[in-house]
């Protein structure tokens, strides 16, 4: 069994190892750093490094109406209601909860600082129309799934919010909304796991026969002659450099300043959140961090700091490893299979609806594929799919849509979840 200090060091080291492995192996790079982070996390949580809790402690932790404190846990132990192992488990759980909260709070600003909001409006026309149609295409099956499964999935409104976040943005939005809506770890892990499984099948389709199928219903892409070299994306999505380039002196010092600004933004947002009731504090804090980070990205000096996205993704990997290590294999069962069906419905339904709307507005097949990829699978897959389609020009549209999705995903996810909660 590992000590708390050892566990923290392990959580900080594994994302570095993952970045190294992805840099060294083209195969692992395609698998994806986040997938590897979940794999490592599940391994840590289920090989005996972390104390195993009793069902009593699991019920106490998952019961949102009970506020567990160290004092309360000690009282339960003194009354012989829980075991000494449960006390150790709670200490680890408390550490994990703190790390997930801090890592996502720090990651969000660093990911958003590199946004070039002004440039969004220079890539207008069909790109923004495709984004609008793509969002409609995603939200319709999410709503359909909610009404189909709301009686079978606990807190289905929260799952709908997470899905809206991840399918309009990406993993950072999924993680943020999990914290904002206080979604239990098992539901989060299963939603993301099922998303990864169906996402692989979706990518196989669009990278192989997808273009031929869609061309039966949509027009072909017309070349525009745009020079891809003019595309600037400070987020690093189009680069394959090692993460360790980001710790070089010329990048390290500016990024330490960016982290300092991040701490200020998190502190101010948390302060604003404390003005609201306890139930809404985390949601307000996450939305505050998102808003202030986007505003900070408008400051040229902040926006031009290189590698902030890479640092942000390092903290996302920490979050992914920690939250995956909180998953207990004993809790996995077919009782959550409806989430799998819901995720499959969103992937299939969103693509079908998107094609129908695109046919109505005469949008080409390549545009639909790249926008669907950016929304459902997130921006890192855009260059890969564009290469499979032999169309580098659409990378501009895909990256633009994906980055806008990162910015608006938290707002859309929280908004939809709150609307469904009151229905």
CA separation for the pair 162, 58 (Å, rounded):
23
Ranges under pLDDT 70 in the chain = 62-65, 117-126, 224-242, 328-335, 380
Distance between CA atoms of residues 12 and 76, nearest Å: 32
Same domain for 383 and 294? yes
Tell me, yes or no, whether 350 lies in a domain. yes
**pLDDT tens digit string along 202-241?**
988 988 899 999 999 999 988 765 544 444 444 444 444 5
Same domain, 142 and 210: yes
Contacts of 94 (CB under 8 A, 6+ apart): 70
Last residue of a domain, one of 100, 131, 154: 100
Residue 110 resides in a domain: no
Residue 122 CB neighbours (<10 A): 8
Q: Is residue 165 part of a domain?
A: yes
Whether 409 and 379 map to the same domain: the answer is yes
In a shared domain, residues 279 and 184: yes
Number of domain units in the chain = 2
Spatial neighbors of 332 by CB under 8 A, at least 6 apart, are 186, 190
Clarify whether residues 293 and 412 are in a common domain.
Answer: yes
Find out whether 156 and 149 touch, Cβ atoms under 8 Å.
yes
Shared domain check, 53 and 121: no
How do residues 342-385 score in pLDDT, each as one tens digit?
999 999 999 999 999 999 998 899 989 999 988 888 776 777 78
Full residue range of the structural domain in which residue 189 is found: 117-220+235-311+330-421
Distance CA 318, CA 97 (A): 12
For 23, 52, 302, the CA distances from 84, given in Å and listed in that order, are: 43, 11, 49
Residue 112: inside a domain: no
pLDDT at 98: 92
Is 270 a domain residue?
yes
**Does 68 map to a domain?**
yes
Q: What are phi and psi of 320, to 5 degrees?
A: -65, -45
277 lies in some domain: yes
For residue 321, tell me if it sits in a domain: no
Residues 178 and 303 both lie in one domain: yes
C-alpha span between 311 and 220 (Å, rounded): 39
The DSSP secondary-structure symbol of 411 reads H
Q: Is residue 142 within 8 Å of 419, Cβ to Cβ?
A: no
Pick from 68, 100, 132: which residue ends a domain? 100
Residues 277 and 208 in one domain: yes
């Amino acid at each position: 069994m590992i000590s708390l200090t050892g566990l923290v060091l392990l959580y900080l080291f594994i994302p570095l190892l993952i970045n190294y492995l992805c840099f060294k192996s083209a195969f692992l790079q395609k698998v994806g750093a986040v997938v590897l982070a979940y794999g490592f996390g599940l391994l840590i949580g289920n090989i005996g490094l972390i104390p195993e809790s009793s069902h009593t402690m699991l019920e106490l932790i998952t019961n949102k109406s009970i506020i567990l404190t160290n004092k309360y846990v000690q009282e339960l132990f003194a009354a012989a209601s829980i075991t000494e192992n449960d006390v150790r488990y709670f200490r680890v759980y408390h550490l994990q909860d703190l790390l997930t909260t801090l890592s996502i709070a720090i990651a969000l600003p660093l990911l958003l600082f590199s946004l070039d909001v002004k440039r969004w409006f220079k890539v207008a026309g069909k790109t923004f129309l495709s984004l609008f149609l793509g969002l409609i295409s995603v939200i319709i099956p999410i709503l359909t799934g909610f009404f189909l499964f709301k009686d079978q999935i606990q807190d289905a409104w929260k799952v709908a919010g997470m899905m809206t976040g991840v399918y309009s943005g990406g993993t950072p939005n999924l993680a943020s909304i999990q914290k904002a809506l206080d979604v239990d770890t098992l539901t989060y892990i299963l939603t993301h796991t099922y998303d990864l499984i169906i996402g692989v099948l979706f990518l196989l389709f669009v990278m192989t026969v997808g273009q031929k199928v869609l061309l039966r219903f949509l027009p072909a892409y017309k070349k525009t002659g745009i020079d891809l070299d003019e595309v600037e994306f400070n987020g690093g999505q189009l680069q394959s450099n090692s993460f360790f380039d980001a710790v070089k002196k010329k990048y390290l010092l500016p990024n330490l300043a960016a982290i300092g600004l991040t701490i200020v933004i998190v502190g101010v947002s948390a302060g604003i959140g404390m003005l609201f009731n306890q139930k809404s504090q985390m949601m307000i804090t996450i939305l505050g961090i998102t808003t202030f980070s986007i505003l900070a990205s408008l400051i040229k000096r902040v926006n031009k700091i290189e590698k902030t996205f890479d640092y942000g993704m390092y903290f996302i990997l920490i979050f992914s490893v920690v939250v995956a290590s909180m998953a207990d294999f004993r809790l996995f069962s077919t009782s959550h299979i409806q989430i799998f069906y819901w995720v499959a419905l969103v992937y299939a339904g969103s693509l079908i609806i998107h094609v129908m709307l695109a046919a109505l507005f005469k949008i080409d097949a390549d545009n639909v594929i790249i926008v669907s990829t950016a929304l459902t699978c997130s921006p890192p897959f855009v260059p890969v799919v564009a290469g499979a389609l032999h169309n580098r020009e659409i990378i501009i549209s895909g990256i633009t849509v994906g980055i806008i999705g990162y910015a608006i995903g938290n707002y859309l996810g929280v908004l939809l979840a709150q609307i469904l909660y009151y229905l």
